[in-house]
Amino acid sequence: METKIFHITDHKRQKEEIKVVAKLLKDGEVVALPTETVYGLAANCFNEEAVKKIFEAKGRPADNPLILHISDFDDLERLTKDLPPNTIKLVTHCWPGPLTVILKKESFVPDIVTAGLDTVAVRMPSNRVTRAIIEAARVPLAAPSANISGFPSPTSAQSVIDDMDTRIAAIVDGGECSVGIESTVVSLAGKTPMLLRPGAVTYERLCELLGKVDIHPAVLNPLGEDEKAASPGMKYKHYSPSANLSIFTGSLSQFTEHLANHPDEFDSALCFEEEKELMPVKCVGFGNENDPLSQAKRLFDALRELDDINAKNVLVRLPSKGGVGLGVCNRLFRAAGFTFVHPERPTVTGITGLSGSGKSYICEILKNKGYSIVDADEVSRKLTKDGSPMLEKIASIFGAKITLGGVLNRKALAETAFANEENIKKLNELMHPEIAKICKRKVTAELKKGNNCILDAPLLFTAGLDKICDVTVWVNAPEDVRLARLKKRDNIYKREAVKRFEAQKKEEELARNADYILNNYKEYDLNEEIKKIF
């Protein structure tokens, strides 16, 4: 079959072309359409023969259901039933946009679309032309991504042509997709909302709009042989280039070391753009390290490019799993068939956060997971223990009232030292170099023993200790939560606590550069947050 290409360009022709494409769809043909996420292979969802053509063109297994694309909010209520109360709020905020919701279906939604499930996936894409085509076709369009099953999803018309030329009636060229990974899929059909596929509408955003949201285990893990996936798509290998991918779990320096030490195992790298010149092997870049949106946009193209440079065995830099990064990791892990390579030398992870963020609690959990903890607060306490030289120095600067007979009055110290910027600076200049020295010594000792090490330091960045870490983590909790914790734990009231937070302002500023954010408050599942990093 000859595949027609429509370039949606000038306004006048656009109107005509929208009509022509809508007619093809009404006549039961399959057409590739641009969306903000990836290109989709669309057909009239009520025409069983047309939907069958989608499965044939893609080589898609029949038990993997399709998403219905709509252009009118009312269609959501027409196609589904038993809408939970949050649904309208969620879609009003996120549509048109990269979000798919799964809900109980009305009986007239064809089984071929839902693979026989009693639920249906619905989304309203943001691409204006595509919405106009849906409107003109006057039916919801069933559309999976427009790639051959198992290949990376297409983010440009050329990628669709590569996979689909001669297999479908037409391709509408709408330029590059702005998001680059498929929509977020969230099921609202169960008791608690469940994230089935992460995308540009982030887990964090869903928690904001819906409260607690579960993350399906298959988002970051392979499915057990007998586990039935909530989203059938999760059981298939996905997004694969021809090359073998392995995800590297260490830092940039560990990554380049590993490549240099194993030239026989890896011939290529998939890394962040700004790291390309550091690579000892040929490489493809996929976005910038601190910009998950740029990673998402580039990812599938980058996977396709690996084949162009004839990569065989590729070591991949692991992006952060926060925000859109969760979606990037989800695609990468599947593309790699969950093959991971760990660094040969142990890793130092620096953890910082404001008072009451719950760092120590998290370190306890990590200790139980086998990490060695170096606690900068403990080092500081020991350094200023009764009768110590450091204590004498402090007393000589801040006055005798902070010591009583050689014993440190910590409350008095806190009040004096945190009283103003100048005092904070003085205290820091005295203590930081000493604390840093001892922490470094302790970290080195743990590494020598072969232990992965956590450096728990409330002033990690301020004291320059981030420089000895392979990765850094900012533990995050809102101010009211931190205040409540400080009141409960240390019996500290608001005025005092706010002063403490003030003293940590610089750290808060510097920690914007942390590699990861770990959210530690009730809207988040702490285990999930920890799993995203460790």
Which residues of the chain form contacts with ligand TXA (CB under 6 A)?
35, 37-38, 40, 64-67, 100, 102, 114, 117, 119-121, 123, 125, 143-145, 182-183, 185, 196-197, 230-233
| Polymer length in residues for the chain | 534
In the complex with ligand TXA, which residue's Cβ is closer, 173 or 415? 173
Q: State in angstroms the smallest separation of the CB of 102 from ligand TXA.
A: 5
C-beta nearest to Mg ion: residue: 145
In three-state secondary structure terms, 79 is helix
Element (H, E) at 353: strand 348-353
In the complex with Mg ion, which residue's Cβ is closer, 198 or 346? 198
Side-chain half-sphere CA neighbours of 189 within 13 A: 20
Q: State in angstroms the smallest separation of the CB of 323 from Mg ion.
A: 22
By the criterion CB under 5 A, which residues form the site for Mg ion? 145
- Nearest Cα residue to 245 out of 156, 149, 315: 315
Q: State in angstroms the smallest separation of the CB of 18 from ligand TXA.
A: 18
The type of residue at 380 is S
In the complex with Mg ion, which residue's Cβ is closer, 145 or 380? 145
Q: State in angstroms the smallest separation of the CB of 268 from Mg ion.
A: 25
C-beta nearest to ligand TXA: residue: 233
Q: Are strands 67-69 and 4-7 parallel, antiparallel or unpaired?
A: unpaired
Q: State in angstroms the smallest separation of the CB of 101 from Mg ion.
A: 17
Q: State in angstroms the smallest separation of the CB of 78 from ligand TXA.
A: 16
112 binds, among Mg ion, ligand TXA, none (CB under 5 to 8 A by kind): none
Task: Find the distance separating the first CA and the last CA of the chain, reported in whole Å.
Answer: 50
In which residue are the tokens 């039933």 written?
Answer: 81
67 binds, among Mg ion, ligand TXA, none (CB under 5 to 8 A by kind): ligand TXA
In the complex with Mg ion, which residue's Cβ is closer, 145 or 355? 145
Per the omega criterion (within 30 degrees of 0), is the bond before 96 cis? yes
In the complex with ligand TXA, which residue's Cβ is closer, 35 or 349? 35
Q: State in angstroms the smallest separation of the CB of 13 from Mg ion.
A: 30
183 binds, among Mg ion, ligand TXA, none (CB under 5 to 8 A by kind): ligand TXA
In the complex with ligand TXA, which residue's Cβ is closer, 40 or 356? 40
Q: State in angstroms the smallest separation of the CB of 531 from ligand TXA.
A: 21
Q: Do 103 and 119 meet the contact criterion of CB atoms below 8 Å apart?
A: yes
Check the CA dihedral 436-439-443-444 and report its sign: positive
Q: Do 193 and 86 meet the contact criterion of CB atoms below 8 Å apart?
A: yes
The Cα-based distances of 521 to 84, 353, 479 in angstroms read 25, 13, 11
Measured distance CA(523)–CA(526) in Å, rounded: 9
Measured distance CA(344)–CA(301) in Å, rounded: 30
In the complex with ligand TXA, which residue's Cβ is closer, 126 or 290? 126
In the complex with Mg ion, which residue's Cβ is closer, 178 or 313? 178
In the complex with Mg ion, which residue's Cβ is closer, 145 or 519? 145
Q: State in angstroms the smallest separation of the CB of 67 from ligand TXA.
A: 5
346 binds, among ligand TXA, Mg ion, none (CB under 5 to 8 A by kind): none
In the complex with ligand TXA, which residue's Cβ is closer, 65 or 358? 65
The Cα-based distances of 436 to 428, 446, 459, 468, 509 in angstroms read 11, 15, 10, 10, 20
Measured distance CA(233)–CA(239) in Å, rounded: 12
HEC assignment per residue over 405-462: CCEECHHHHHHHHCCCHHHHHHHHHHHHHHHHHHHHHHHHHHHHCCCCEEEECCCCCC
**Other residues' Cβ atoms within 10 Å of the Cβ of residue 146:** 31
Q: State in angstroms the smallest separation of the CB of 144 from Mg ion.
A: 5
64 binds, among Mg ion, ligand TXA, none (CB under 5 to 8 A by kind): ligand TXA
